Structure 1
Amino acid sequence: MKYRRILMAAVCMVATAVQAQEQNMERDTQRVHTKYLSEITLVGRNTRADIHFLPEVLGTQINAGKKNSLIVTDNVQGNVVTNSMRQVMAKVPGIQVWESDPSGIQIGIAARGLSPNRSWEFNLRQNGYDITSDPFGYPEAYYTPQLNSVQRIQVVRGAGSLQYGPQFGGMVNFVMKNGSEINKPFQFETQQTAGSFGLFNTYNAIGGETNKAHYYAFWDRRSGDGSRPNSAFTVNTGYGSVTLKATAKLKLGMEYTHFDYRSQQPGGLTDAQFTQNHLQSFRSRNWFNIKWNMLALNTDYTINEKSRFNLKVFGMAGDRNSNGFLATPNIKDTINAATLQYNNRRVDVDEYRNAGAEFRYVNEYKIGKLKNTLAAGVRYFYGNTNRKQNGKGDTSSDYNFNLLSDFGTNLSFVTNNAAVFAENILHIGEKFILIPGVRYESIRNSANGRISFNSNGSENKINNQNRTRNFLLAGVGAEYHIGSTELYANWSQAYRPMLFSDLTANPTTDVIDQNLKDAKGYNIDLGWRGTVKEYLFFDVSGYFLQYNNRIGAITQQRTDGSFYNFRTNVGNSSSKGAELLVEFSPVKAFFKQSTSGNITLFASMGFIDARYDNVKVVTRNGNTLTESTLSNKKVENAPEQIIRTGITYSYKKLTANVQYNYVSKAFSDANNTVTPVATGVNGLIPSYQVVDIAGTYKFTERFYVKGGISNLFNEKYFTRRAGGYPGPGIMTAEPRNFFFTVGAKF
């Protein structure tokens, strides 16, 4: 009921503003209203606003009827250098952020009660192609683009499943700078940033545009010591793209991305350790290393003024390496009295080798006098993951991956995916449109290899797992236009494929259900969004997310009395709530002209009620099994309230912002454990509130400075309890810190 009251109050407030709108709308110089636009680099080119809606048709993708956001990163007042997502996505309501990585190397975002673990409930893309390890078997994001180089961030919520495939969260696409926005043959850009805890970032780029081509390339290096001992990091990112305008209709592009980093991991804390000193560390021998290389070829062809297609061919080679002492934080990493050395570390290595292609076609056609749009496409993806774990590392403390014996686990995973999809904008009258859509997916996962060694030295192999599944997803959206606002609704089916971890289990202790199914469900959105002249931007909506066939492990007993873990579909969960964004300029609303600058207020609020339905739990107590359910238990990592508000002041060359963030308490496990366990792995995640300030001053179009203070009042908090990497235990969020950037363009 409280969500309904909040939603109705927001709707009434917006309705009052809309009724005051004049019949003949003046042009909004802050935001672009273009509905159909094929050049993504033109969206909001001259805008000063950081948040927009996506056009109904953008290139070869349909966004009409979907909950969506478009973030202009150059206009974000916040710490873009370290990819501070709570500041970057402040105006995307309901986005939960895990803040356990001070360098911003790996982001963790989610919404609507889904898990933020390396953003694996979103379909993450860069320029329209996959950037995760394997979107169908291991969809964790080890690579995040350096946001200095990102032109726009497109966010399509749950309904993105029809055009982009899994996951339940929708799609996040990082649109990189490509030179087409520069409007001259050559430009050199440099940004130098210094900050707290030894932070230094250097970003240097060249780019330009001619009649025949545009290009962009950058090199970025970021390093720092971190706020806790043993948390130093070094990150290198390189990128280059070139687009050739071969003919008036044909454009050919190529881009390459290199990313690598080395970081020391300070480990997690118990609750007692966190209370004593939340910035201490008890791990000095844990290291993490990533190497990522991606190549993409792009073809855009305009058949005629009504039809066009895009073809992307992409490949990725990535490596993930870790070495450390991974015991829970209540166990100290000390010198063994018997050997007079530290205990051996554990070495894990993953190798990802992926390739794919995606073809998209758009055609505009008329039925009577009304224009309609069809978007369709096909996709193929191949992924090969080699996973080597539980290797015996050395007893030293330095960065190395020395292996003293063979890996205990050596597995190979292969994914083949093919998909066909289509959506259609159908105009029914001048104001009302329907957007039906369908997607057909075929997935084949296979897994084989060694899970461990037996005590006699023989290999303990998994049974070769081969799973082929076919999905037919459907959905329908709608919009009804009221002036410069619109009512929108969407229902879309979604699914989440079983992961590699669901296909591999130790045969001596675990059994995989041979009838194991992928998680399936749907998203529903109903909302109202739009603009009123230059002073109001809003999006008010309610949602419902049904998540069926959740995968888990339950304890079972064999006929001989022995026990085993049975990995199967254990039940369902659902999330419902409201998401509200209102951005209001009282100066533009009440004054025709202002000589003292402009003030903009915003409120971005997400309300979540995520609960388990009939999830079955079987626990062992001695020699007996006890069955129970998690019915009505809160879903873990799902705070009920995520509220971000702020005020921005702009005057001539100065823009300054103050932002307030509040996130309510959440549970870290499905059993809703309140009292923390001794290891710090499970227990309540308390609510927290953080204030950030940031600003930009442009001396000229060429020279500017940026700066800010994050966590102004030095809030002591954490957003996650990790069960493994990068913990285990409580992962402390950053204390008060600052950044200062000097930038120039020539």
Structure 2
Amino acid sequence: MKKISLIVMFVLLALNTMAQKNLLKGKITDKNQNPLTFASVILDGTVRGVQSDANGNYELKDFPKGDYQLKISLLGYEDSVLPFSITEAETKVLNLVLTEEPLWLDSFELHSSRGILGHGHLPEVDDYRINAGKKNEVIRIAELNANLAMNNSRQIFAKTPGITIWESDGSGIQLGVASRGLSPNRSWEFNVRMNGYDITPDPMGYPEAYFTPPMEVVEQIEIIRGASSLQFGPQFGGLMNFVLRKPDKSTRFTAETINTFGSNGLFSSFNYIGGTEGKWNYTAYYQKRIGNGWRENGYFNTDHAHMEVNYAASNRLKLGMEMTYMTAESQQPGGLTDAKFGEDSRQSTRNRNWFSTPWFVPSLSAEYLISSNTKLSWKAFGTLAERNSVGFMRPINVEDDLGNRQVDRDYYTTYGSELRLSSSYTFFGKENTLVTGLRYFNGHIDRKQLGVGTTGSNMDFSVAAGDYRRDLDFSNINLAAFAENIFRFSDKFLVTGGIRIENIRSIMEGKLNLVSGSPQLLDRITRTRSFALLGVGSEYHVTKGTEFYANFSQAYRPVLISDLTPPATTDVIDPSLKDSRGYNVDFGYRGTLLSYLQFDLSYFHLNYKDRIGTIAQTNSAGSIYQFRTNLGNSVSKGFEGYIEVDPITALFGSSRIGYLHFFASLAFIDATYGDFEVTSVSNGQITTRNLEGNQVENAPRKINRYGATYNLGKFSMTWQMSDIGKAYSDASNTETPNAAATVGLIPAYQVQDLSASWNLWKQHSLKAGVNNLTNETYFTRRAGGYPGPGIMPADGRTFYMTFALKF
């Protein structure tokens, strides 16, 4: 962190020595001469822009002489555009007074300052993408009362209906979420990105999200359900994009420190700097988080660092660079049997299991304004990372023999590039928007497993005897192109349509196992396929603040590395194995009524075809072998609803005793298998059955969350409750758990959280809370392997307190 700060200060010092070409400055106020903070000040038609500071002042430096239009915008006020001219080395002062909008209504950006915070929707066109007609949500992190130091998913996603959460990682390092009956396994059914670029190992072959940015630096989480498939590709779940806080445009330098203390030795320190100076802006953060975990053997120690620098090379060209690095040391307490869980869910029978994920994500970007209506964006990104585990991995009902542990290591080397063009044009008197893009991705995974590790109990990934018994190489090359267009037929009605063309080439080879000293080699598997995805959506604005929306989009899930890895060399992979295909359908009504009611009510239908599975077959010699192929399909359908109301504002308009608002996030999901044939082998005989009508595993039918927030001045408190229905851990819908606790019912549960915040004065704030207020004993997952096996208990009651200082 010290080195990063020195670099940034050196850059600022160097900039101060450069002569300024010119300077535009001024003050932005309302009609009563009150300063307006964080107003957006932009030189229209350029990449240059700043924000007003706490006193309403702004400065724009070092831009070419010429004629310009200064555009000022702030939520709740009418936009102001002021033409001006400036010569070289001139200092010009322009003060502006903004006028309040009459109704202060915008269905996608409005939120009441008195209460309705933390949740919204994306604008129709934003950041080189089209969102119109799609089911989407925006979670504004800074507005939440939540345990951000621990990335508490239950609180963060409370207002986003239908989100299933695996609460099995007490360290907050990994996020496991899904929607619409899909698997929450490390969020792999979402296309997980940060600032618009990939942060997973390989979205085409191994999309597990081992890295999650600290929530203290996340400005918002953008979620577009399956309708994002045209612009972003996989997966069925859609897009989940973490947008980090951008450099402060209102000052040359700002710094912030957020320190959290909590139960079980939790300590988190988040430190941030950022600012703008002339053509440059920058930001950097460092977070240290350490704790012992709620369960025995749950120690964790993580470090996150990030730096971003942007440079306005000209009025039309902006260049950027980002680097993110994470190290994580995490002890894994393992799973429990049902009996052990009933005795004491905090206990752990594994103290030699460790997990580590060093993660480095660099990114370069460029943005060029071709004209006032057309702009171009380019991003290049990569991932250099590892996934390392060591431990005793036998079933949880087998006692650790204290012998050599198993070591598994993955090495990820990926890089990619995306080019996007956004253009607005007039057709029949209406402004339409076209967004097109090209994508190249190259991913390589070196997977080393079944290594013979040490007999110790610390985090040691060295292999003590011999080589790894499994050593596989997996490569993926992906080329894609897409186009999507908004057609506006009137001020109220629009239609979107688009297409995505994909080409995927996957290669799998290597050593599957080592038997009696002899390697068992896989035949090289090369699969190339090309296909197209289509989609169409629409919006009809009933009022200025509400609209109907509908969407149909095809989706797919590529054949993953796990699909191409047979458990044994006798198993056979179908040479015609296909990517899973299907589609998402959404139909809903959403918006804002006045300033006190916000809602989004919708029906969805997700068709998941060609799901991959394994069945037993008999070869010509009469021997039974396992055959992995496309077996069948599943369908998820149901209701997703979010509603939030501020009754005090509705009834009285204003209140001296504070404001109270309520929200409900409801989802009823029917996720069932269609025609899906499976087999089992007993006494040398193959038995066939069909899963048709069975509930999809890890898909509770009921996902309801409720909450209430009380605001009084600078004080705010939020209570919320999660009410989640039962689920099954396997496709056979096994009710009675097995001895190893890897299959069986996942019971319904209710859990409550309470958090509060208080802005002591302008630059200081205090937050505190209790997670799992009533100390419920529950679990959301039965793990078949790592980090289990067995039941993975969720955390019981924990406390936290956060103190933040900004200067």
TM range (shorter): over 0.9
1:96-115 to 2 correspondences below 5 Å? 96-115=164-183
Separation in structure 2 between the aligned mates of residue 320 and residue 617 of structure 1, nearest angstrom: 32
Give, in angstroms, the shift of residue 47 of structure 1.
Answer: 9.8
Given that 2:115 and 2:709 are in contact with CA atoms closer than 8 Å, whether structure 1 keeps it comes out as no
Instruction: Report the CA distance between 1:507 and its aligned residue.
Output: 5.4
Decide which of 678, 681, 685 is 2:742's aligned counterpart: 681
> Could you tell me which residue of structure 1 aligns to residue 324 of structure 2?
257
1:199 aligned partner: 266
2:733 to 667, 672, 686: 672
Find the partner of 2:103 among 26, 36, 43. 26
Larger Rg: 2
Counterpart of 1:86 in 2: which secondary structure?
A: helix
> TM-score when scaled to structure 2?
0.86
Contact persistence 2:188–2:209 (CA under 8 A): yes
CA distance in 1, matches of 2:113, 2:452: 53
Which of residues 114, 117, 121 in structure 1 aligns to 2:189? Answer: 121
Moved more, 248-257 or 210-219: 210-219
The number of equivalent residue pairs is 705
Whether contact under 8 Å (2:485, 2:497) holds in the other structure is yes
Which whole-Å CA distance do the structure 1 matches of 2:375 and 2:756 have between them?
41
The answer to whether the aligner puts 1:90 opposite 2:158 as a matched pair is: yes
Q: Which residue in the other structure is 2:47 paired with?
A: none
CA distance, structure 2, for counterparts of residue 623 and residue 68 of structure 1: 51
Indicate conservation of the 8 Å contact 2:108/2:591, yes or no: no
Residue pair 1:178, 1:242 contacting (<8 A) in 2 also? no
> C-alpha deviations, 1:156-197, integer Å up to 9, x for none?
0110111100000000000111214x5111001001100011
Structure 2 counterpart of 1:620: 681
How far did residue 207 of structure 1 move? 0.5
Change (3 A) 1:460 1:607: same
1:640 to 698, 701, 707: 701
- The aligned counterpart of 1:247 is 314
TM-score between the two structures when normalised by the length of structure 1: 0.93
Whether the 8 Å contact between 2:585 and 2:604 is mirrored in structure 1 is: yes
Give the alignment partner of residue 53 of structure 1, picking from 121, 125, 131.
121
| Contact kept? 1:598, 1:650, Cα under 8 Å | yes
Shift of 1:560: 2.5
Segment of structure 1 superposing worse, 567-576 or 585-594:
585-594
2:455 to 384, 392, 395: 395
Matches within 5 A, 1:341-352: 342-352=402-412
Residue 31 of structure 1, CA deviation = 7.0
| Partners of 1:462 and 1:242 in 2: CA distance | 45
Q: 2:134 aligns with which of 53, 63, 66?
A: 66
| Secondary structure class of the residue paired with 1:328 | coil
Quote the offset at 1:306 in angstroms: 0.8
Q: Which amino acid aligns with 2:570?
A: T
CA, structure 1 residues 652+44, in 2 after alignment: closer, same or farther (shift >3 Å)? closer
2:287 match: 220
CA 1:114 to 1:673, structure 2 compared with 1: closer, same or farther past 3 Å?
same
The superposition leaves residues 131-157 of structure 1 with CA deviations (integer Å, 9 ceiling, x where unpaired) of 111100110001001111111111101
Residue in structure 2 matched with residue 493 of structure 1 by the alignment: 554
Q: Which letter maps to 2:236?
A: F
Matches within 5 A, 1:512-591: 512-591=573-652
For residues 189-217 of structure 1, the C-alpha deviation after alignment (integer angstroms, 9 at most, x for no partner) is 00110001111000111101233122110
Match of 1:166 among 222, 234, 251: 234
8 Å CA contact 1:325, 1:345 repeated in 2:
yes
Matches within 5 A, 1:239-638: 239-334=306-401, 342-403=402-463, 404-455=465-516, 457-483=517-543, 484-506=545-567, 508-638=569-699
Per the TM alignment, residue 563 of structure 1 is displaced from its structure 2 partner at its CA by 1.8
Counterparts of 2:107 and 2:535 in 1: how far apart (Å)? 33
The residue aligned with 2:3 is none
Partner in structure 1 of residue 12 of structure 2: none
Of 785, 788, 799 in structure 2, the residue corresponding to residue 724 of structure 1 is 785
SS in 2 for 1:147: coil
Report the Cα distance in structure 2 between the residues aligned to 1:551 and 1:188, rounded to whole angstroms: 50
Q: Distance in 2 between matches of 1:32 and 1:623?
A: 63
Task: Give the Cα separation in 1 of the matches to 2:136 and 2:173.
Answer: 25
The answer as to whether partners of 2:115 and 2:659 remain within 8 angstroms in 1 is no
8 Å CA contact retained: 2:633, 2:675: yes
SS at match of 2:264: coil
> How big is each residue's C-alpha offset from its partner over 1:397-430, in whole Å with a ceiling of 9 and x where there is no partner?
1221121210000011111001000110000122
Tell whether the 8 Å contact from 1:296 to 1:314 is kept in structure 2 after alignment: yes
* Cα distance change, pair 247–268 in 1 and its aligned pair in 2 (3 A): same
Q: Are the structure 2 counterparts of residues 186 and 46 from structure 1 closer, same or farther at C-alpha, using a change threshold of 3 Å?
A: farther
| 2:107/2:592 contact within 8 Å kept | no
Q: Is the 8 A contact 1:462 1:505 kept in 2?
A: no
CA distance in 2, matches of 1:141, 1:239: 18
Q: Is residue 235 from structure 1 mapped to residue 302 from structure 2 by the alignment?
A: yes
Q: Which amino acid aligns with 2:234?
A: P
1:30 and 1:534 in contact (8 A); partners too: no
**Structure 1 residue runs of 4+, over 6 Å off?**
43-48
- Look up the SS of the partner of 1:135 in the other structure: coil
2:581 aligns to what SS in structure 1?
strand
Structure-2 residue corresponding to 1:705: 766
> Displacement of 1:562 after TM fit?
2.2
Deviation at 1:46, TM superposition (A): 12
User: Over residues 236-261 of structure 1, what are the superposed CA-to-partner deviations in whole Å (9 max), with x where a residue is unaligned?
Assistant: 00000011122222111100000110
Provide, for residues 604-663 of structure 1, a one-character-per-residue CA deviation record: whole Å limited to 9, x for no partner.
011100000010111111121111100100000000000001000111101110001010
Give distance in 1, aligned partners of 2:135 and 2:650.
26
Give, in whole Å, the separation in 1 of the partners of 2:606 and 2:109: 31
Q: Which amino acid in 2 is paired with 1:600?
A: H
Counterpart-to-counterpart distance in 2, 1:32 and 1:47: 14
Query: SS of the counterpart of 2:761?
Result: coil
CA deviation profile, 1:660-692 (whole Å, cap 9, x unmatched): 101000000000000111100000000000010
Deviations 1:106-143 (A, max 9, x none): 01000000000000000000000001111001100010
Gaps of 5+ in 1: 1-23, 34-42, 335-341
Q: Which residue of 1 aligns with 2:77?
A: none
For the aligned residues, what is the CA RMSD? Answer: 1.5
Q: Distance in 1 between matches of 2:280 and 2:149?
A: 29
Q: Report if aligned partners of 1:462, 1:506 keep a CA contact under 8 Å in 2.
A: no
Q: Distance in 2 between matches of 1:53 and 1:221?
A: 32
Range with bigger deviation, 402-411 or 46-55: 46-55
Corresponding residue for 2:218? 150
Amino acid at match of 2:138: L
CA–CA distance in 1 between the matches of 2:180 and 2:116? 29
In the TM superposition, residue 45 of structure 1 has moved relative to its aligned partner by 12
Structure 2: gaps of 5 or more residues: 1-100
Quote the Cα distance in structure 2 between the aligned partners of 1:694 and 1:425. Answer: 42
